[in-house]
Structure 1
């Protein structure tokens, strides 16, 4: 609005001056020359104002614009208003950046911003300590050239950032770092680094404690179980009155032995003890599941359950035979324990385009939906009384979960109360 008004004023002023000068020049037969002089003078005046504008915007450090009449005065004034507004926004932005830098400097976790090509664009002080980076030399460098850990390079190349990576710090071998990468803005990634040395140490202490206690319990349990077996009422008639207590003691000693065995297996899985579990090899799953089904029929005994194995694939798996047998037998034997008499249990081995699948399906009592997410937690029991009566330790599905994860797979559970349950182990073909 103001622009139109001032331009109109400028135009009519110039037209009036040209008209007056033209009329005066016509009195001396110099109208054209007079108008040319006026236009030339106007052009020079505008060039002078442009020069003043350039000096003010580029060379001068003055905050205030030069004074000028007419349209140029308005141009200078509006540019000044825009500059003041920009300075306020810039000051506000600098404040936000300053607060961000102060807050990230206070973080104990390392934070880096890298491009899709891995170039470091920014990092905080904690990253300097955890990764040994230097702001003066490492900004603009590729993170993968500075952090040459093979696991980190594989983690980055896979571009699967759902789970964090745990490695030793390149700056200090005693530090254990947890690295998590989050992509954003299509061409940038945020790298968060946490020092989990203490947590790792406590986890190691817990594993060693469980393993040591389990080892220490095994010997006295073996002795107790051995002596209880010797106390046979058929050999010692005077023990006939305590036959029932002795049988209960034998059963509890046996259950305790199973618990110790499961704890030791979990300790080995946590520690990823390859020496205990043997080198990976190709395993014929059909032979393994057929053998487990035979054992399940013996365990079923008087329950008269129908236990069938259905093979729809001849594929083999590469991994630890001992671990996989433990996982599969846990699922099958659980189905035997908790499925009612004359029930049906089906074991399937099949494959799809993406994965291999082992499924244990039963028509037992089923599991309530609220329990399913917690079934693989250690010692979690849907019905603790029923589990103890069946000899369960509460560690079976935790072992299954660990074994599957170590083989690149996962467990899927579907259950309907009153109709039965399906436990499916998935092994990706890409793995």
Structure 2
């Protein structure tokens, strides 16, 4: 390319010299210079026309023969064309392979472009979503899948968690929908039929709810008889220990039923956006006072402190009873599983990322491998320790469900022998300052 440019410059200079000499010979220098310039311009325009004709006529594979830098330009364009065709062929092969793989899936797969228009879908999408391809090619996905929850999810651009919605062509079917972004604004929509799983989960919830309510009446009767027997315990000294054990287990059963009913209610109620302004400073103080009273009643020696930076008063948008239950659960848990005379640090603050409430203890700690399972129902790190503490195994499951309803998350840090830290993080749009 550099050599051709140099040759072209020399060619122009020599032409100028020759035509200038001829012009001097006949006394018409500017005429001959004008002729030379015009001829050179016509020659370049002709080369441009040839290249343009070659580019327009896509059936011509080889570039037009040319000399100088025009030849270099043609060769470079030809090279880029071949490179583009190679890349395009590979891309088409990859897309064909991808579509072939998706076509065999039992889950629905829909490819949409940056505008949300359908580019392709597999057979399962036609069956589960009622799409008709290629008839629906170019149609916006929201015109065909009008569920408000799906529309909000699709437009949110936040696809970390999927959603469960009714199938647009069959309300009896439940679909788990997930979206993944790729390329420049393109998206893949995956939909799986979870009707059976949803039905089983609903059966489980109904069973837990019904059993919890059905057991309350007989448990109340049993507790009543135990209380009556306690009134005449002086006449039956041999029953004092068995009655105390019965009463202890009855109280534990009451707590278990209460937690089951609370968890069932949290799972079945809609997760509407709560708008109550909660002073987290005031609530944190209340929670700490209640935890201290609970420790005194159970004769537990715990040092509970509350840290609120700058005594800042701020508000959280949420359901007051639920938030109070979650925060108290965390502090009471720390009291249960801390050592005698243990230290428990409670703190709350806010920043640009949202609202934070943290409970830190210097207890026995938890093996990190068990942390992911802590919020499961009835999961116990240590069976004997939970029995001694009278826990139901549902506390953290309730906390997690409450936080989910408030768009929050529970962060757990712990190391065996070094204590644990449980932190609630609420999103910034639920924060009100002042």
Shared fold (TM-score, shorter chain, > 0.5): yes
Is residue 118 from structure 1 mapped to residue 113 from structure 2 by the alignment?
Answer: no
SS in 2 for 1:397: helix
* Partner deviation per Cα, 1:193-252 (whole Å, 9 max, x = no partner): 11112211111011000100111111111221222122226x431222221211111111
SS in 2 for 1:138: coil
Consecutive unaligned residues in structure 1, runs of 5 or more: 1-56, 59-85
* Partner deviation per Cα, 1:77-127 (whole Å, 9 max, x = no partner): xxxxxxxxx9xxx9xx89994x87665444321111111111111111221
Decide whether the 8 Å contact of 2:120 with 2:134 is kept in 1.
no
Give the Å deviation of 1:281.
1.5
Mean Cα deviation higher: 398-407 or 184-193:
184-193
Select the residue among 291, 304, 314 that pairs with 1:296: 291
Q: 1:251 to 1:114 in 2, by over 3 A?
A: same
Decide whether the 8 Å contact of 2:334 with 2:344 is kept in 1.
yes
Mean Cα deviation higher: 170-179 or 213-222:
170-179
Decide whether the 8 Å contact of 1:232 with 1:239 is kept in 2.
no
Q: 1:288 to 1:222 in 2, by over 3 A?
A: farther
Decide which structure has the larger Cα Rg and report it: 1
Select the residue among 276, 286, 294 that pairs with 1:281: 276
**Superposition pairs of residues 17-166 of structure 1, within 5 angstroms:** 97=96, 104-166=102-164
Q: 1:236 to 1:159 in 2, by over 3 A?
A: same
Q: 1:391 to 1:135 in 2, by over 3 A?
A: same
**Superposition pairs of residues 302-381 of structure 1, within 5 angstroms:** 302-312=299-309, 313-381=312-380
Consecutive unaligned residues in structure 2, runs of 5 or more: 1-57, 60-84
Distance 1:343 1:95 in 2: 61
Distance 2:306 2:93 in 1: 69
Distance 1:289 1:223 in 2: 37
Q: 1:181 to 1:94 in 2, by over 3 A?
A: closer
Report the TM-score, using the length of structure 1 for normalisation. Answer: 0.73
Give the Å deviation of 1:359.
0.7
* Partner deviation per Cα, 1:339-378 (whole Å, 9 max, x = no partner): 1222222211111221111111112221122221211111
Q: Tell me the residue number matched to 1:382.
A: 381
Is residue 252 from structure 1 mapped to residue 249 from structure 2 by the alignment?
Answer: yes
**Superposition pairs of residues 202-217 of structure 1, within 5 angstroms:** 202-217=200-215
Q: Tell me the residue number matched to 2:75.
A: none
Higher relative contact order (CA 8 A, sep 6+): 2
Report the TM-score, using the length of structure 2 for normalisation. Answer: 0.73
Is residue 224 from structure 1 mapped to residue 219 from structure 2 by the alignment?
Answer: no
Select the residue among 264, 268, 272 that pairs with 1:271: 268
Q: 1:129 to 1:350 in 2, by over 3 A?
A: same
Decide whether the 8 Å contact of 2:274 with 2:317 is kept in 1.
no
